[in-house]
Amino acid sequence: MPLRGHLLPAVVMLLGSPGWAWVPNHCRPPREAVCNFMCDCRGCPDEAQCGYHGVSPSPGAPFTCDFEQDSCGWRDISTAGYRWLRDRAGASPEGPGPRTDHTLGTDLGWYAAVGTHRGRETATAALRSPVLHEAAPTCELRLWYHAASGDVAELRLELTHGVETLTLWRSAGPWGPDWQQLVVPTGRIRGAFRVTFSATRNATHRGTVALDDVAFWRCGLPTPQAHCPLGHHHCRNEACVDPPQLCDGEDNCGDRSDEDAAPCRHYVATDFEMGLGLWNHSEGWTRNRSAGGPGHPAWPRGDHTWNSAQGSFLASVAEPSAPAVVSSPEFQASAPHNCSVSGWEPQGAVLPAQALRRLC
Ligand SMILES: [Ca+2]
Ligand SMILES: [Ca+2]
Ligand SMILES: [Ca+2]
């Protein structure tokens, strides 16, 4: 991603009197470099109000919003009186939230909270992130929520990308009495996307929920490098990726050049988009997708190849204790390549979403 040429250094001119500083912002990054988990401008103004603090305290540390200064660009988009607000214990007389926040563990710490609404009708309060750009395959959203059991009917975390909204997580409880952590992988996302955290209350629930320390982990794509470490792959966009990330079915470079035909000429990949590919002898499996069909509660929200409900994967439909078998044609062993088979399955399940076969 050749962004560096767009970026001119910021100039700081002190104008004599204490407290006066003029910082002209000559940095004009392209739209896709705004809120992309990378500081492309000095001081990181391109990552301000992106749902986290733009400057990561150390390389590799997550981009986090702890709500201590402001809401980092998270916005309430509720249409009823049941809505999110930045709050802390005792800050507002009718404040709904817990007695301590998660960051500081005291009543001085801030969080986002919902639950002041006194009505008895069903309502959903939604807290939406700003528009974010480009998530790496390793990207995870980690947050802490506080929802006393019986207080809220349902919590939901959704990701909107283009015209598609994927439910990353939903729960109707029960929840514990303390702060609980939620860790959800987003998968590789190309282009713009948003994340929305919603709470739904009904007539029997007060609907009190709090949210704190929302963090994006390992979401930035690798940056261009003049030289890569020995053995690493130099992507077309000049990023470097580890050898195991080459031809593994994931877009680690950011331009998908680590999955190009040339470096992957010794691999045979099947993404199940058009059919079973090599895996033409199947028993107890169905090629399916998450959108449109009856589906199954254990199936993933989307496929691995495109991270989309429209993408296809292979799912087991065998009866309990019966085997589900899918087999390749017979291969002939050959030197000098080492033979290996790899694939992807949803977290917590044994459902291959993509299979790769290296010629032997
Ligand atoms: Ca940026
Ligand atoms: Ca906090
Ligand atoms: Ca890869």
In a domain, 42, yes or no: no
Q: What's the 5 CA to ligand 1 centre distance in angstroms?
A: 14
Q: What's the 88 CA to ligand 2 centre distance in angstroms?
A: 8
Domain identity same for 82 and 190: yes
Domain identity same for 81 and 199: yes
Segment among 13-27, 237-251, 281-295 with least mean pLDDT: 13-27
Inter-residue contact 209 to 201 (CB < 8 Å): no
Which pair of tokens denotes residue 159? Answer: 């990701």
Averaged pLDDT, 114-140: 88
Query: What would you report as the CA-atom Rg of the chain, rounded to the nearest whole angstrom?
Result: 24
Inter-residue contact 127 to 211 (CB < 8 Å): yes
Domain identity same for 71 and 207: yes
Where a domain ends, among 193, 217, 241? 217
Where a domain ends, among 159, 187, 217? 217
Most confident of 31-40, 208-217, 262-271, 277-286: 208-217
Domain identity same for 181 and 324: no
In a domain, 97, yes or no: yes
**pLDDT of the residue at 11:** 31
**pLDDT of the residue at 152:** 85
Tell me, what CATH number does 179's domain have? Answer: 2.60.120.200
In a domain, 190, yes or no: yes
Inter-residue contact 117 to 83 (CB < 8 Å): yes
Q: What's the 249 CA to ligand 1 centre distance in angstroms?
A: 26
Domain tally, the chain? 2
Q: What's the 25 CA to ligand 1 centre distance in angstroms?
A: 14
Q: What's the 133 CA to ligand 1 centre distance in angstroms?
A: 9
Domain identity same for 152 and 276: no
pTM over 0.75: yes
In a domain, 239, yes or no: no
Nearest ligand, CA 269: 3
Ligand 2 ion local residues (Cβ < 5 A): 66-67, 101, 103, 109-110, 212
Domain identity same for 185 and 297: no
Higher-confidence residue: 321 or 138?
138
Rama region for 67: left / alpha / beta (φ>0; ψ in -120 to 50; rest)? left
Nearest ligand, CA 210: 2
Which pair of tokens denotes residue 335? Answer: 């030197």
Which pair of tokens denotes residue 339? Answer: 């033979």
Share of the chain above pLDDT 70, in %: 83
The partner residues of 141 in beta bridges, in order of sequence, read 184, 216
Domain identity same for 197 and 81: yes
Nearest ligand, CA 69: 2
Q: What's the 4 CA to ligand 1 centre distance in angstroms?
A: 11
Query: Domain range spanning residue 324?
Result: 266-360
In a domain, 137, yes or no: yes
Q: What's the 84 CA to ligand 1 centre distance in angstroms?
A: 27
**pLDDT of the residue at 135:** 96
In a domain, 49, yes or no: no
In a domain, 11, yes or no: no
Nearest ligand, CA 111: 2
Higher-confidence residue: 150 or 321?
321
Query: Which DSSP state fits 59?
Result: T
Higher-confidence residue: 329 or 210?
210
Nearest ligand, CA 4: 1
Nearest ligand, CA 253: 3
Confidence of residue 268 (pLDDT cuts 50, 70, 90): confident
User: What is the pLDDT of the chain when averaged over all its residues?
Assistant: 83
Nearest ligand, CA 267: 3
Nearest ligand, CA 35: 1
Where a domain ends, among 158, 190, 217? 217
Confidence of residue 23 (pLDDT cuts 50, 70, 90): very low
Higher-confidence residue: 64 or 153?
64
CA distance 216 to 76: 19
Domain identity same for 101 and 207: yes
Confidence of residue 343 (pLDDT cuts 50, 70, 90): confident
Q: What's the 289 CA to ligand 1 centre distance in angstroms?
A: 33
Domain identity same for 72 and 211: yes
CA distance 230 to 245: 15
**pLDDT of the residue at 294:** 65
Tens-place pLDDT, residues 62-120: 899 999 999 999 999 998 888 999 999 877 665 667 889 999 999 999 999 997 656 67
Phi and psi at 144, nearest 5°, equal -115, 130
Q: What's the 148 CA to ligand 3 centre distance in angstroms?
A: 42
Tens-place pLDDT, residues 324-340: 888 887 877 766 667 77
Most confident of 202-211, 303-312, 336-345: 303-312
Domain identity same for 68 and 203: yes
CA distance 56 to 38: 9
In a domain, 251, yes or no: no
Domain identity same for 200 and 90: yes
Domain identity same for 71 and 166: yes
Tens-place pLDDT, residues 217-238: 999 999 999 999 999 999 999 9
Higher-confidence residue: 91 or 194?
194
